[in-house]
Amino acid sequence: MERPLLHLMEAVRWLVSRIIGMLEYGISTMYLISLWYIWVAHRENPFNNTSGVMLKIIDTGRLALLMTAANTIVWSTNSSRSFAQLLNSGNLVVRDANDTKPEKFLWQSFDYPTDTFLPGMKMAPGEYTYHCDPQDVMRKGKVKILLCYFVSSTTSAKDIITTTDFLTDGKTITSSDGSFEMGFFSPATFTNNWYVGIWYKHDVPDKSVVWVANRENPFNNTSGVMLKIIDTGQLALLTAANTIVWSTNSPSPLAVKNPVAQLLNSGNLVIRDANDTKPEKFLWQSFDYPTDTLLPGMKMGKNFVTGQEFYLSSWKNEYDPAPGEYTYHCDPTGYPQDVMRKGKVKVFSTGPWNGLRWSGVPGLTKNTIYTFKLDLDEKRAFYSFVLLGSVMTKLTMNSNGVLQRSMWAENRQEWHVYISSPEDTCDNYGTCGSYGSCNNILTPVCNCLDKFVPRDPRNWAMTNWSGGCIRRKPLNCQNGDGFLKYSGIKLPDTQYSWFDRSMTLHECKQACLRNCSCMAYSNLDIRNGGSGCLLWCGDLIDIRELPGGQDIYIRVATSELGSKKTKLLVLSLLLLIGVTVTGLTIGLYIWKKKKKRKMNLKDDLDLPLFTLSTLTKASSNFSVENKIGEGGFGSVYKGILEGGHEVAIKRLSKSSSQGVNEFKNEVICIAKLQHRNLVKLIGCCIAGGEKMLVYEYMCNRSLDLFIFGLFNHIISVLTEDLLTDEKRSLLLNWPKRFDIINGIARGLLYLHQDSRLRIIHRDLKASNILLDADMNPKISDFGIARSVVGNETGANTHHVVGTHGYMSPEYVVHGVFSVKSDVFSFGVLVLEIISGRRNRGFAHESHSINLLGHVWKLYKEGRPLELIDGHLMDSHYISELPRLTHVALLCVQQCPEDRPDMPTVILMLTNDAILPQAKEPGFFTESKVTSECSTSMCSTNEITFTQLEP
């Protein structure tokens, strides 16, 4: 192959080669200068004929394609030296005459590929290079094999912008791991506004933009616009007229000889020296100038040394990234808390940092996906969150002022929002005014704290709570005040507060007593039993009741507490009265028991009451045809009320010794629970010795009828038009089963964390999961549920109740139950949904262990797919099932401490983070059950039992 050289000082010589020349591609009037078929110089500017066209080194030292007749440059390189050489590799290079080192090439065609990928070319990310076997690459002077990589004519995947390589419309740079992409975008097709931004590369076509450079200065078209490193060393967005639309303010850029801009895997765009990748040496970074999104590793807060504040600001609207009305700050005034403002007005506060999370956002619990961090000292106050795995997650504030924490669900290719704030009325800042407590479950939602009364009773009665509350009795600091403990609340606004990390709670109390302006105190850090001191000066505002809330001690007059002598006298009187009343009560009870066994619960139940005649008529006199189920405490009937409203009537058995207690417990537990995954209690009936509960009717009945093949055995006798077991099971494809599992998990999360009372169900099983017309799951049967208060998560009992196969080991053996007992039952239920087999009574020809043991065996042997229900084997989602099996095994581990809580379970279900290794499940050994009937002909009945003998 010839190696022609061009030199400016020599007589002009035209570049001639057997491999370079004029390319005619089927149109006789269109010509291009090229290396045959593998590279095109002026691919966007062809000329109509070759007369007077030449390729030469011009006066500036550039290699240029000229039309001599018009003295027009059709194309040129961006180098300024006088030698060009065509290498054997097919690479056209411009270099110094005395320097042949590849790293010193001033320009090369390999950096500007067209549609062909040759040996020796590179493609980012990862600087991918293709090499051919040198003994097999040539045949008769021609390339034998060309790898035809159809590379875009205007893009080359890379993560760097340099002084000579800039960004224009149609080109992007991509982080080296492929997570983030940066380029030009327009938020909508109906607007001509264009921006430079960073977005998640995988999120197509929605483009989740996480940062915008010129959010306040859009340009109308992209022609001639470029993003480049300019002479001052700053990154700038230039128009065709060379006007700067936007630029970085990187300090002392001229001190760096070779500045580059790089898009990191974190989504951070940085300017640095090309030879120095240390973060502390970055000249500028986009993470210091957030828009509406907080990514892992970004910070919010304030640098007290420089005065720079880092905060989120919403878009003006969905299609305009200019700063909108809302801002979200980590406010370091007093003690740090996150605050959202609309303009200058506070509209939402997270409450102060308690060492684990913001006190007013209980959903942000410890998990395996990410951890939270607050850096607080005399120089800075920064809040951030750090990934523990590889899951993509973000916090975004939309244009309506709603904060959304979301996670990328790889299996569904969509963003899953798992926390939104503000979420309800009580999340709105200061809803109930000073010393008013907000509870979204109650009506009205605002009430004064104990020992406080409305400041303006008239306005308060008209639901104008902005005036707040005042102390019932005024303080008298000189004569001594005291403190009342209030539990389970979001701590008030800390704008006017003081803190000390080293003080004990007792020292904190004394410090507050000595300061007459101190209105309350609390632990600063709730970890390890509590530590530190947080004092409030001034009125307390933005208080709400929360499950898992904290303790605060609020200053009140001594007279509100009572003296020790008064307390002793009152205690003595109460004791005397108690003994008397107890004696009378016992006598009255015995008398009433002999006369009539009857209990009137009407005054205790806060929900609509139905008459016996109404329910008798609705259920056709409780006919067999209307009977849809039967349990340990009675039967369930379908009813149709006047107006056509369908209901389910649970009629408690008169002979049941537990009927009254179970009835009362179920009403108390579920009456005020409101969640889409809990069955809704409509009313009850107490008349004529009957005790009945009226629920919303679930037309698809219970989950067990679908997954265990019980349909023909139990209710097929009622109609000839019902589906077969196989067809019913086929209705539960994998997406529907996943939705059911997810719905059950969310229902449990509400019971364990978000409801007014922390509820432990204790009898979660397939027959207690009802399905509505859309197959949405509803948790039902709260007859043996237990509620716990405050920060309690469990209790113990000598009266063990539940269903064999679903109860946790610690509950069966020791009578200890907790939220982790429900997690165990949930894990069993998930395995049953996946396999279509019951845990209890499970049989296998090769062993005598139950379903948990069988799954554990398959898990250890790496054969989880053998568990899956045969109806799911052809599913496109089969790759998701082993992970779900793994999550279920984590839920059924022997020790309750090893099991995840329900918030963590939901995170595991909705992302692809690495799961911890599962440990041995509880109750996985079982003796072999012999049966005279075949598997296809017999069914296993669930029995909720009352007492487990040792």
Contact 233, 254 (CB under 8 A): yes
Contact 531, 539 (CB under 8 A): no
Strand order in the sheet with 72-76: 53-57, 63-67, 72-76
Enter the tokens of residue 303: 């640098």
H runs (alpha helix) in 696-815: 704-707, 711-714, 725-731, 734-749, 809-814
The DSSP string of 607-651 is: S-B--HHHHHHHTTTT-GGGEEEEETTEEEEEEE-TTS-EEEEEE
Q: Give the angle subtended at the CA of 125 by the CAs of 122 and 127, to the nearest 5°.
A: 35
SS3 834: helix
For 845, half-sphere exposure in the C-beta direction (CA atoms, 13 angstrom radius) is 2
109 closest CA partner among 66, 79, 74: 79
Give Cα 149 to chain centroid, integer Å: 38
Contact 798, 815 (CB under 8 A): yes
The C-alpha atoms of residue 124 and residue 173 are separated, in whole angstroms, by: 9
Q: Exposed, middle or buried: residue 595 (CB in 10 Å: 0-12, 13-18, 19+)?
A: exposed
The C-alpha atoms of residue 639 and residue 512 are separated, in whole angstroms, by: 61
Report how many helices (DSSP H) and strands (DSSP E) the chain contains, helices first.
15, 60
609 closest CA partner among 677, 545, 667, 551: 667
User: Rounded to 5, what percent of the chain is helix, strand, coil?
Assistant: 20, 30, 50
The C-alpha atoms of residue 877 and residue 916 are separated, in whole angstroms, by: 22
The C-alpha atoms of residue 804 and residue 943 are separated, in whole angstroms, by: 7
In this structure, what are the phi and psi dihedrals at residue 143, rounded to the nearest 5 degrees?
-70, 130
Q: Is the dihedral of CA 96, 100, 101, 105 positive or negative?
A: positive
- Hey, what amino acid is at 610? F
Catalytic residue selected from 159, 763, 781, 901? 763
* Element containing residue 507 per DSSP (H, E): helix 505-514
Is residue 525 flagged as an active site residue? Answer: no
565 is in an annotated binding site: no
Q: Exposed, middle or buried: residue 465 (CB in 10 Å: 0-12, 13-18, 19+)?
A: buried
Q: Give the angle subtended at the CA of 468 by the CAs of 466 and 471, to the nearest 5°.
A: 170
Cα separation values, 363 from 91, 384, 543, 647, 909, Å: 58, 17, 17, 34, 16
Enter the tokens of residue 605: 């139940």
The C-alpha atoms of residue 912 and residue 933 are separated, in whole angstroms, by: 43
Q: Which residues make beta-bridge pairs with 129?
A: 122
Give Cα 592 to chain centroid, integer Å: 56
For 855, half-sphere exposure in the C-beta direction (CA atoms, 13 angstrom radius) is 40
Cα separation values, 522 from 551, 616, 876, Å: 7, 56, 53
Active site residues: 763
Annotated binding site, which residues?
A: 650
Annotated binding site for ATP, which residues?
A: 650
